[in-house]
Chains A and B, each alone.
Chain A
């Protein structure tokens, strides 16, 4: 048998096996207790829309578009509802400190990483900007940006949100939270040491894995410690049916330490295998760590905010298992044209095409859930972050599937188009979802309302405007750059010159995004220091009839 036949048969067999596996899950063939999979609806309660960024008038409009839940009149139901509320408060109380620590670290790294990214961006069209020190040169500054995003902002936000969400969904308190705090400290110590060594010029030379392996030990141990509370909390759970967010977050917390450990084993990877491993890791850390956490976040917060169940358990199953199965082999499309076995690249292109399956499953599921509720987006910035982030997931994934095709990749490889695509995923999708989640979570962590609701809307519009300029400009510039590089009649420098206006556009967009992050950080710090107009109740419960202490006749 030749390579193609073996590959084809393997592919058909394994995908068929996957679909049979999903179907059997649906039919509860693996359950010892089939009743457990029956969806247990939470009892109705007085639900109100959650939106810290609104005036009372707008809030009323939002409430009207959603409709309120009625207080049940059956006393047994009331009792169950009280029990649910009690378990929710218990879960929140056990996670508040840990989540606050993680999110605070996330904000610090967000500001640091955006600054490093902006400096790198400016250097590409102003080469003499900040070159007096070795650590400020492009090669190190860009690497600092990547690592501060990939191991600073993203994981800290992801861990914080996951640790806050999981106990709520398991209706229990967080068990083993101290491990997570210790892990957080080790992780940040490792990250600071790693960034320092990169700035000093010591790194492993592999993208996404630049931090030297001696320092990475801290990240591996830290990551594993942060994952421990998940295991203990799962053992302690008080629900039979695991909601889809738990699958995504649990899998991500398990996958990441494994990926990182394998990738960083010293003396194991050489030559072509090292390059293959490099992109196996580089793409999986996106697809099997950041992506599932953000998807789990959307699966939780979107129905939570609009008060409507996720429409299809079947689609959730299909989306999760297809992601887990197809994503692992996608990394090879970074090596198209490289000296790696052709069948490996072909397989990874095929799996990139198959990534359409989990993306469509997720997107349709969210769309069905939102259907008839899109009006809420008009009133709700928090929901806008999350829904827009979900849409960016669909976009960036479909773009990635197309980009993996050899015909398209010929043009886009080694250009800024790829950089724009990477940011659509990690910023447009992941970061936006995290912003939305943080806006929802923090009032419950701090027992304090967001002090300046208008800043939330300002943050939203700044980053959306900035990112739109960034993405559109860089995609056009990258595409033109690719066409010029392929044109043998043109000298190479033409392909560099053509990008300059688009690189300047990127710096403009990046500055606006960074400004948005500063607004966000300021707001976060204000809340931590209990600044702003003191409110006893939430911002939503403005009693419009309440007597004010303002001057008469004002």
Chain B
């Protein structure tokens, strides 16, 4: 490219910009002063709404989540709140016509082995609970929860919402898991479960 062609655009420009030295206009100084004073006033007048003495005095250490260990006790209520409450509700009553209740349910209060199998594999298809037929889908928990956790949540369900049935221990769940190992789909409602009762 020829030199003159390159400089064509540059040649026709105005000079490089520079700065004059006008003083700052009074109006600007007044606005700056007003902003400063209003900022001071705002700081002074804004109530600090969060008085530290109102807090619950917890410190960072209180929020530490306990490490889950294989020896520690598992809280069935906590598992219920995390895994079950969305369908069966906090009071265990379920939703009429949609989700079956756990409170006073013959499945919960019946054989613990069946209850364990239901939690392990879940249910699809029509299922009769307390005289009403539900046709929903309960997810499979065998990969999500350990034997100990399933035992804890079953124990919780069997002793809450007005239910009074005895505890379920880890060994039982382990036995049922082994017994139904070949089963890879959710139970087909009454068709499969009725015979187990």
Q: Select which of B5, B9, B44 is within 8 A of A8 by beta carbon.
A: B44
A residues within 8 Å of B by Cβ?
Answer: 2-4, 7-8, 11-12, 15, 39-50, 69, 84-85, 88-89, 92-93, 168-169, 243-245, 299-300, 302-307, 309-316, 318, 341-343, 346-347, 349-351, 353-354, 356-357, 360-361, 364, 368, 443-444, 447, 449, 536-538, 540-541
Chain A interface helix/strand/loop/mixed: helix
Are B18 and A39 touching (Cβ within 8 A)? yes
Given A304-B16, A357-B35, A447-B5, is A312 in contact with B21 using a C-beta cutoff of 8 Å?
yes
Q: Chain B, 95-126, contact with A by CB distance < 8 Å: what is the 0/1 string?
A: 00000000000000000000000000000000
Are B19 and A39 touching (Cβ within 8 A)? yes
Closest to A44 in B: B15
* CB neighbors of A among B18-54 (8 A): 18-25, 27-28, 31-32, 35-36, 38-40, 42-44, 46, 48-50
State the CA gap A39–B12 with chains docked (Å).
Answer: 23
Are A307 and B15 touching (Cβ within 8 A)? yes
Instruction: Please name 26 pairs of A and B residues whose Cβ atoms are closer than 8 Å in the assembled complex, sorted by A.
Output: A8-B44, A12-B40, A45-B15, A46-B11, A48-B13, A49-B14, A50-B14, A88-B16, A93-B6, A168-B16, A244-B19, A306-B14, A309-B20, A310-B20, A312-B21, A313-B20, A314-B22, A315-B22, A315-B28, A349-B42, A357-B31, A357-B35, A368-B25, A447-B5, A447-B9, A537-B8
State the CA gap A322–B14 with chains docked (Å).
Answer: 30
Are A356 and B28 touching (Cβ within 8 A)? no
State the CA gap A11–B42 with chains docked (Å).
Answer: 12
Are B12 and A346 touching (Cβ within 8 A)? no
Are B40 and A353 touching (Cβ within 8 A)? no
Q: Chain B, 71-101, contact with A by CB distance < 8 Å: what is the 0/1 string?
A: 0000000000000000000000000000000
Are A356 and B31 touching (Cβ within 8 A)? yes
Q: Select which of A48, A300, A306 is within 8 A of B12 by beta carbon.
A: A48
Q: Select which of B5, B9, B20, B35 is within 8 A of A312 by beta carbon.
A: B20
Q: In the assembled complex, which residues on chain A have CB atoms less than 8 Å from the CB atom of B44? A: 4, 8
Closest chain-A Cβ to B59's Cβ sits at a distance in Å of 13
Are A8 and B25 touching (Cβ within 8 A)? no
Are B11 and A342 touching (Cβ within 8 A)? no
Are A443 and B9 touching (Cβ within 8 A)? yes
Are B14 and A305 touching (Cβ within 8 A)? yes
Q: In the assembled complex, which residues on chain A have CB atoms less than 8 Å from the CB atom of B5? A: 447, 536
Q: Select which of B7, B20, B27, B39 is within 8 A of A11 by beta carbon.
A: B39
Closest to B16 in A: A42
State the CA gap A447–B25 with chains docked (Å).
Answer: 42
Closest to A369 in B: B20
Q: In the assembled complex, which residues on chain A have CB atoms less than 8 Å from the CB atom of B50? A: 341-342
Closest chain-A Cβ to B64's Cβ sits at a distance in Å of 12
Given A444-B9, A447-B5, is A353 in contact with B16 using a C-beta cutoff of 8 Å?
no
State the CA gap A361–B35 with chains docked (Å).
Answer: 13
Q: Decide yes or no whether B178 CB sits under 8 A from chain A.
A: no
